[in-house]
């Protein structure tokens, strides 16, 4: 009787697992989708091909998909977090003041309410309305010299016709332009601020390897440039990358995740430097580690050209200078971390996307320092900017990556302390530079009183 009962229990368990596995595989939503609870894109079902099976990227992608697609995932993750919270031992963090990401946004309702009040006070002090009612100042200024209109992003068909993909609201764009002007005002007279909005893989993959669309474009520069002061340059990153979408030494974007590959970041950095009259280092000057490879050997681009690997494979550059990377808190406290490494993933760049501040030493003596403000697209971009600056400081002002307490000073103080000459503001499609969240945080943190 006992054996029969055990057999039935085992049978039911196996049947349940079989049903769960079938539910995952038959799930109609196999593309990328947003996880609100984790603030990230869940993995899509990988493309099956001889190449993806041979280089191991299919199985890696398949495992990621299974991990992200099982039923009741959010509930299980919440249960796990709660259980770990009961048994984990509190950690005060390293002596330098650096703590792990999950603690950056752990604040009480009272702290959040106080912070929101600080944001409103900062906006009032600088004569700005709340994001929901953003309007252009009536006084004639460069930010109000032209007629406002929406910014559009489109995909281009072979016959020259366009399909509009995104529209950015005019009032929000104008408000963001005013914020860029405030950042530019913190720089010396010969300083420059560069802003661009890279596109995620979901946009690029409408074109790469396809025939319905042959290119992309935006009127971001046309609309925004008249709204900003001298020394603020709006960059058309779509125009920079457009010639390479289907004609590059390696893939500019993966198929399964939303970021860009190192070569896309390198091409963009080279274009930025060329526009400043600086000879770019070029992608071929570096050697690269490949994710999903066990030998952990950096290869030249000539070697890479003779290899067969899928679009999910991440190329992580090996530095050409004695560069260094640090977590940076309280304006001056630093803790060494990785610059680049053969980790097998996106965290090979700067150890991944962490906050609230980072300090990168380029290894060359250029006499100039820079600030980079933006999302995860800055992580592979910064190593390609590093050779042109003595120091680069960087931050992401979004709630999940910034901490007012750990920053220890406002952004203006960081700009002054590190003698910043150039600022790069980089918000990808997913981050939405025109959103209330980005605009309010960039505005408040600039001159926030401590």
d(CA 291, CA 308): 13
Pair 445, 410: CB distance under 8 Å = yes
Per-residue pLDDT of the chain (450 residues; tens, 9 = 90+): 556 667 667 667 777 766 666 665 556 555 554 443 343 445 666 777 666 666 566 666 666 666 666 555 555 544 443 333 333 333 333 333 333 333 334 444 555 565 566 666 655 665 554 433 332 232 333 434 457 899 999 999 999 999 999 999 999 999 999 999 999 999 999 999 999 999 999 999 999 999 999 999 999 999 999 999 999 999 999 999 999 999 988 999 998 788 999 999 999 999 999 999 999 988 999 999 998 777 788 999 999 998 988 888 999 999 888 899 999 999 999 999 989 998 768 888 998 888 799 999 988 888 999 999 999 999 999 999 999 999 999 999 998 899 999 999 999 999 999 999 999 999 999 899 999 999 999 999 999 988
Bridge partners for 192 per DSSP: 422
Torsions phi, psi of 151, nearest 5? -95, 135
Sorted by sequence, the CB contacts under 8 Å of residue 65 that are 6+ apart come out as: 30, 43, 44, 45, 46
Cis peptide preceding 158, ω within 30 of 0: no
> What is the C-alpha separation between 401 and 234, in angstroms, rounded?
25
Phi-psi region of 419 (alpha: psi -120 to 50; beta: other; left: phi over 0): left
Quickly tell me which residue has 């600080």 as its tokens: 118
User: What is the pTM assigned to this prediction?
Assistant: 0.72
Per the rule left: phi > 0, alpha: psi between -120 and 50, beta: everything else, 32 is: beta
Alpha-carbon dihedral of residues 287, 292, 296, 300, nearest 10 degrees?
-20
Identify the CA nearest to 315 among candidates 286, 294, 339.
286
């Amino acid at each position: 009787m006992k054996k029969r009962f055990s057999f039935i229990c085992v049978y039911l368990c196996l049947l349940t697992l079989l049903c769960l596995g079938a539910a995952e595989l038959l799930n109609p939503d196999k593309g990328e989708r947003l996880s609100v609870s984790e603030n990230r894109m869940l993995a899509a079902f990988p493309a099956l091909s001889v190449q993806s099976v041979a280089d191991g990227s299919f199985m890696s992608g398949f495992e990621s998909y299974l991990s992200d697609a099982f039923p009741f995932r959010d509930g299980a993750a919440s249960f796990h977090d709660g259980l770990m919270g009961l048994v984990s031992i509190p950690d005060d963090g390293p002596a330098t003041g650096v703590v792990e990401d999950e603690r950056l946004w752990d604040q009480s309702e009272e702290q959040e309410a106080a912070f929101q009040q600080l944001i409103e006070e900062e906006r009032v002090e600088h004569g700005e309305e709340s994001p929901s009612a953003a309007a252009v100042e009536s006084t004639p200024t460069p930010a109000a010299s032209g007629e406002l209109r929406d910014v559009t992003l489109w995909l281009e068909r072979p016959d020259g016709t366009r399909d509009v993909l995104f529209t950015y609201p005019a009032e929000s764009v104008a408000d963001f332009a005013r914020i860029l002007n405030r950042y530019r005002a913190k720089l010396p007279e010969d300083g420059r601020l560069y802003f661009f909005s890279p596109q995620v893989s979901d946009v690029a993959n409408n074109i790469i390897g396809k025939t319905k669309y042959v290119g992309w474009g935006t009127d971001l520069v046309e609309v925004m440039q008249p709204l900003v002061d001298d020394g603020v340059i709006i960059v058309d990153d779509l125009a920079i990358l457009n010639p390479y979408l289907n004609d590059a030494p390696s893939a500019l974007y993966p198929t399964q995740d939303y970021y860009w590959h190192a070569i896309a970041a390198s091409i963009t950095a080279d274009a930025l430097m060329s526009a400043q009259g600086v000879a770019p280092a070029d992608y071929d000057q570096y050697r690269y580690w490949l994710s999903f490879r066990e030998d952990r050997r950096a290869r030249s681009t000539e070697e890479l050209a003779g290899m067969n690997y899928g679009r999910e494979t991440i190329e992580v550059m090996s530095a050409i200078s004695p560069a260094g990377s640090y977590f940076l808190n309280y304006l001056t406290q630093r803790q060494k971390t990785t610059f680049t490494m053969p980790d097998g993933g996106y965290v090979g760049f700067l150890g991944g996307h962490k906050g609230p501040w980072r300090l990168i030493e380029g290894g060359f003596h250029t006499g100039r320092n820079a600030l980079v403000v933006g999302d995860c697209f800055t992580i592979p971009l910064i190593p390609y900017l590093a050779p042109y600056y003595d120091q680069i400081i960087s931050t992401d002002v979004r709630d999940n990556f910034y901490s007012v307490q750990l920053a220890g000073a406002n952004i203006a103080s960081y700009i002054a302390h590190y003698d910043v000459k150039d600022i790069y503001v980089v918000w990808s499609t997913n981050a939405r530079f025109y959103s209330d969240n980005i605009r309010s945080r960039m505005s408040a943190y600039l001159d926030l009183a401590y």
